[in-house]
Amino acid sequence: MKKYLVLLLVSIFAIGLLVGGCGPAEDVVDEVDDVTDELEDVVDGGQDLVIAIGAEPENLDPLKMMSAPAATVAEHMVETLIYLAVDGSLEPALAESWEPTEDGLAWDLMLREGVSFHDGSPFNAEAVKLNLDRFMGKGDFEGEAAVYAFLLSEVDEVEVVDEYLVRLHLNQEFAPIAAHLSHSFIGMHSPASLEALDAGQYVEAPVGTGAFKYAAWDRGEQIVMEKNEDYWGGAPELDTVTFKFVPEASSRVIMLETGEAHAIMAVPPTDIERLNDLEDIDVVFENSVRVIYMGFNMEDEKFEDVRVRQALNYAIDKEAIIATTFQGVGEPSSAPIVPAVFGYTKVGPYEYNPEMAMELLAEAGYADGFDIELFHPTGRYSQDATVTEAIQAMLAEVGINATLTTYDWGTYLDTVIVPPEQAEHDVYMLGWGTVTLDADYGLYALFHSSQWPPANNVSYYANADVDALLEEARVTPDRAVREALYSEAIELIWNDAPWIFLHNEGQVNAVRSNVKGLIHHPLENILAWDASIE
């Protein structure tokens, strides 16, 4: 059929030349070029990449973004000041360099020149200030701050020094500031696009500086982005990138095999071996910075007693879940953060010991067990529903009868990340990727008592000692001292057991072999700006 399309286009071109007569020579050359491009597209099937992922971004507004799917999609359109590379190093993105002032109470960001947003407006210091102010809910944007505003909680003021120099004034020294600025949620949007929003309205079609421009978002289906010809880093080879949202892992695999998708995330463990044997498909293993856990609602009287929380940790056979449900990919959690993160200390895992679990429950006065409401997502994390089912059965062994409830990802987040008085759940499943590779992000956000919902301390955990350690660690410049402080905090958190610590995820993606240059990021992103289809 393509043959006929080419013939048709060629004849239309020929007729066009005839009818148009003799125009200026350059025009004709341009026209020929255009048509040749089109013909090439038709012949090679175009550079239209399709990636199937499990969950849809809950939002693409920096104020409302909360998950890796949102980050993955957004990073193609909207860039950050600093980029955290696959190897964990911080690389220049929209900021070319960054350094602290002598007293450490301010940071200077030298911005990249000659960058413009998709709407044509220039990227400069004013744009940075506006974006950061909006994220923090300061200055002209007094009021609503981003859910992840804690990333910049130590930033007092953003000063525009000159067109390409921004100075961040800090309340006190803040060690992880550069890492925090690399967070995908602190993306730079066109000021005009943000100012056009009414109060209570959020970004739906991001206008950034990225390699791809927003094209369309069919809710529940897909997001389509098209090539940014004027990208400062050089236009990408791909014409379009489409993220399709397919919660069911087996459907993603079938899409990959039939060629409907070029790449998929979270390959079901039972399919790894089979896909590996296929010639035109490559299975990609990559580490992840994500821990998966079952958090307790600590405002629930059942979970007030630390013995109950520890008991439930002893009741779960993490090794068996890894071995069977994940076919050996991943490992039981040995701390609330993964080993790759700065500040990690090995304190676990809790061994599998149902007898000990029952003893502890009996000591706490729950010899006969109790009923719980357990909420979990389906399709967001690898094997989430299957893991939950296994946990339900293991809890039953120690007398705890769990009723499961699941929602689609967006609804799920809205249901569990709520203040205590609105919580319907006793236990909830979530994961957390420490995407700055610094313990501050993994611990402060999840265990500091100032971070209860709408932020991410969903267990309502509050321990004054932990608070003090985390506060001190984030303002101490000395890495060795910080490490010691985090080690102490991790020990306390581990023994307090606000979660059932489950496992560190391993990432398994799969790609068709004719796709080159995809970046599989430990932050659980697939990035396509350097990709091409052969």
Partner 1 sequence: MKVDNKVDEICELPTPKRDTELRQVWRHLRRNRLAMIGLGVLLVFLLCAIFAPLLTGYDPIKIDLGNAFKLPSTENLLGTDWQGRDVFTRILYGSRISLAIGLISVTIGMLIGVPIGALSGYYGGRFDLFIQRIIDILIAFPGILLAIVVVTVLGVGVENVMIAVGIASVPIYTRLVRGSVLAVKEQGYIAAAKALGIGDFRIIMRHIMPNCLGPIIVQSTFQIATAILWAAGLGFLGLGAQPPDPEWGAMLSKGREYIRTAHHLTTYPGLAILFMVLGFNLIGDGLRDALDPRSRKHK
394 binds partner 1 (CB under 8 A): yes
Which of 358, 365, 421 lies closest to 394, judged by CA?
Answer: 358
8 Å CB contact between 35 and 239: no
Q: What is the 3-state secondary structure (H, E, C) of 371-438?
A: EEEEEEECCCCCCHHHHHHHHHHHHHHCCEEEEEEEECHHHHHHHHCCCHHHCCCCEEEEEEECCCCE
- Using CB under 8 A as the binding rule, whether residue 379 contacts partner 1 is answered as no
Q: Rule CB under 8 A: which of 256-275 touch partner 1?
A: 268, 270-271, 274
> What is the maximal distance between C-alpha atoms in the chain?
95
The position carrying tokens 């010691």 is 484
Report, in Å, the least distance between residue 525 CB and partner 1.
Answer: 24
Min separation Cβ 375 and partner 1, Å: 13
Subset of 299-318 contacting partner 1 (CB under 8 A): 317
Instruction: Kindly state the smallest distance separating residue 408's Cβ from partner 1, in Å.
Output: 11
CB of 167 to partner 1, least distance (A): 53
**Residue 284 touches partner 1, criterion: CB under 8 A:** no
Amino acid at 341: V
Least distance CB 505 / partner 1 (angstroms): 18
Candidates 43, 367, 396, 468; binder of partner 1 (CB under 8 A) is 396
47 binds partner 1 (CB under 8 A): no
- As a whole number of angstroms, the distance between CA 443 and CA 494 comes to 12
Cβ–Cβ under 8 Å, residues 177 and 475: no
Binds partner 1 by CB under 8 A, chosen from 241, 249, 289, 298: 249
CB of 257 to partner 1, least distance (A): 9
By three-state DSSP, how is residue 523 classified? Answer: coil
Q: Toward partner 1, which CB reaches closer, 81 or 394?
A: 394
Query: Which 325-364 positions form the footprint of partner 1 (CB under 8 A)?
Result: 325
Residue 390 touching partner 1 (CB under 8 A): yes
**Does residue number 276 form part of the binding site for partner 1 (CB under 8 A)?**
no
CA dist list (Å): 25 to 29, 30, 115: 6, 9, 33
Q: Using CA atoms, how far apart are residues 424 and 388, in angstroms rounded to an integer?
A: 17
Helices (H), 165-248: 177-181, 191-195
Per rule CB under 8 A, is residue 33 in the interface with partner 1?
Answer: no
The reply on whether position 384 binds partner 1 by CB under 8 A is no
For residue 388, CA distances in Å to 123, 174, 289, 309, 395 come to 46, 38, 21, 17, 10
Q: Which of 96, 389, 472, 491 binds partner 1 (CB under 8 A)?
A: 389
Smallest distance, Å, CB 269 to partner 1?
A: 10
Q: Site residues (CB under 8 A) for partner 1?
A: 248-250, 253, 268, 270-271, 274, 317, 320-321, 323-325, 385-386, 388-390, 392-394, 396-397, 403-404, 406
